[in-house]
């Protein structure tokens, strides 16, 4: 049904207009009590075996929606209704901004990918904080808040910009993400360098602790797949050093060569971040490298090219406690989360692992100790902290 709708309607529309139309339908459905209850029962059935505990939260499952879809926190309940176990809003900046000029979103349909140069278009952290404060939750949801740098703010003033957003949003966040990896804000990726990242994360941590005194707001950083391996290692070491709660791997890529893209070369040549299936291999490589470096000391979230339940399962085996997707939502439609959950449950039952917690990082660990991935009882297996609820 959705594939027909995509071919006959959405594919013929400007991608950003199609996004707004679909988003409006989701928000409308979530406002109708009987309809949202029915949809949630069908699209978001709870599977006990998929329950996880991460970032101080108990969640119905590991699969969430990545930042970028709901930039202004206007449809958390609607997206939860569709079956996402956590919803990451944003990216939100301290000042409202319109983003880059249109046209700025492109579908690479043969590659099941997107290119975007949205440029953090959002209403600003004050407006988003006000909306989150006024939200009357219909469904229990874990809400992550992804913050970035305002485009007009110079790089040397970036810390203050992030701190402003933190002070406004931390109390409304189940976890907070520092985004330094979008390619669409000039100079932003420079902040991934450890010398810049250390004072930034330290300042955000202090601001969150100062603003929210009754609990610890988990703090994560989102990195790019384009980092060199030694830079991935440096970020991993910094996360451990600072006691960071998590790392999200990865954002979109600026790479085009070597990805086997088959779409119209004119589309492929568009500037911006590439997401979707072509990013899968590199994102998985980064995730494995991070887990080999940090083990269970830092929670990892795998994102980038996640389309199927097999993709999500591979992220878990590679070291991700949580998994996110976004681009495939455009192509798979409203049944996507349900399908991924069902497939994950099937894979867990067929595996040698009793819980998802046991599966997290199993492939990476066994690759290091020489055991086969389906038989995780290799030598020197590290202790695994429980993530099962």
**Residues annotated as catalytic (active site), given as ranges:** 182
Instruction: Say whether 250 counts as a known binding-site residue.
Output: yes
179 annotated binding-site participant: yes
List % helix, strand, coil for the chain (3-state, nearest 5): 45, 15, 40
Does 229 show up as a binding residue in the annotation? no
Residue indicated by tokens 């439609």? 333
Could you tell me if 153 and 197 are in contact, meaning their C-beta atoms sit under 8 angstroms apart? Answer: no
Flag whether 184 is marked binding. yes
119 carries a ligand binding annotation? yes
- 72 marked among binding-site residues: no
Q: Is 67 flagged in the annotation as binding?
A: yes
State the Cα–Cα distance between residues 127 and 312, nearest whole angstrom. Answer: 33
Please tell me whether 90 is known to bind a ligand.
no
Environment class of 186 (CB within 10 Å of its CB; exposed 0-12, middle 13-18, buried 19+) = exposed
The annotation status of 91 as a binding-site residue, yes or no, is: yes
78 is annotated as contributing to ligand binding: no
Confirm whether residue 84 is marked as ligand binding: no
Query: What are residue 174's DSSP bridge partners?
Result: none
Note the helical H segments in the chain: 2-8, 15-31, 33-43, 76-81, 125-134, 158-169, 194-211, 229-242, 265-268, 280-294, 309-318, 327-332, 336-350, 356-359, 362-369
| Contact criterion met (CB below 8 Å) for 93 and 125 | yes
The answer to whether 305 is annotated as binding is yes
Query: Reduced to 3 states, what is the DSSP secondary structure of residue 72?
Result: coil
Tokens of 384: 């695994």
What is each CA distance from 49 to 126, 157, 359, in whole angstroms? Answer: 39, 46, 12
Confirm whether residue 166 is marked as ligand binding. Answer: no
Strands of 273-276's sheet in order across: 105-108, 113-116, 273-276
Residues shown for the chain? 389
| CA separation for the pair 148, 91 (Å, rounded) | 6
Residue 1 among known ligand-binding residues: no
> Residue 270: beta bridge partners?
none
- Check whether 13 is labelled as a binding-site residue: no
Q: Does residue 171 sit in helix, strand or coil?
A: helix
100 marked among binding-site residues? no
| C-beta separation of 334 from 43 below 8 A | yes
Residues annotated within the binding site for substrate are 71, 116-120, 179, 184, 251-252
Residues annotated within the binding site are 67-71, 91, 116-120, 146, 179, 184, 222, 250-252, 276, 305, 326-327
Residues annotated within the binding site for FMN are 67-71, 91, 146, 179, 222, 250, 276, 305, 326-327
């Amino acid at each position: 049904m959705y594939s027909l709708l995509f071919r006959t309607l959405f594919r013929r529309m400007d991608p950003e207009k199609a996004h707004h139309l679909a988003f409006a339908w989701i928000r409308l459905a979530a406002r109708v009590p009987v309809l949202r209850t029915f949809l949630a029962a069908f699209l978001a059935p709870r599977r006990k075996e998929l329950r996880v505990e991460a970032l101080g939260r108990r969640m119905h499952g590991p699969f969430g929606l990545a930042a970028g879809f709901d930039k202004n926190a206007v449809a958390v309940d609607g997206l939860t209704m569709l079956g996402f176990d956590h919803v990451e809003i944003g990216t939100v900046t301290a000042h409202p901004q319109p983003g880059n000029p249109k046209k700025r979103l492109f579908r690479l349909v043969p590659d099941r990918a997107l290119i975007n140069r949205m440029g953090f278009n959002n209403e600003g952290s004050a407006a988003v904080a006000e909306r989150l404060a006024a939200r009357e939750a219909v469904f229990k949801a874990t809400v992550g808040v992804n913050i970035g740098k305002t485009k007009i703010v110079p790089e040397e003033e970036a810390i203050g910009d992030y701190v402003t957003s933190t002070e406004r949003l931390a109390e409304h966040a189940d976890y907070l993400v520092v985004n330094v990896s979008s390619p669409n804000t000039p100079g932003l990726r420079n902040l991934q360098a450890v010398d810049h990242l250390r004072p930034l994360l330290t300042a955000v941590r202090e601001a969150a602790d100062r603003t929210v005194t009754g609990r610890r707001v988990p703090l994560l950083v989102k990195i790019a797949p384009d980092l060199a391996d030694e830079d991935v290692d440096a970020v991993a070491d910094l996360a451990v050093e600072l006691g960071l709660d998590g790392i999200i791997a990865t954002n979109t890529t600026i790479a085009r060569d070597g990805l086997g893209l088959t779409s119209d070369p004119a589309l492929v040549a568009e500037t911006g971040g590439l997401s979707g299936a072509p990013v899968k291999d590199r994102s998985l490589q980064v995730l494995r490298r991070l887990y080999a470096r940090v083990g269970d000391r830092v929670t990892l979230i795998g994102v980038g090219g996640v389309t199927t339940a097999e993709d999500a399962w591979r992220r878990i085996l590679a070291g991700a406690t949580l998994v996110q997707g976004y681009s495939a939502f455009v192509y798979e439609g409203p049944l996507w989360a349900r399908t991924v959950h069902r497939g994950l449950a099937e894979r867990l039952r067929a595996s040698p692992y009793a819980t998802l917690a046991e599966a997290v990082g199993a492939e990476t660990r066994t690759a290091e100790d020489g055991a086969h991935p389906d038989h995780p009882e290799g030598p020197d297996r590290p202790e695994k902290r429980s993530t099962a609820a």
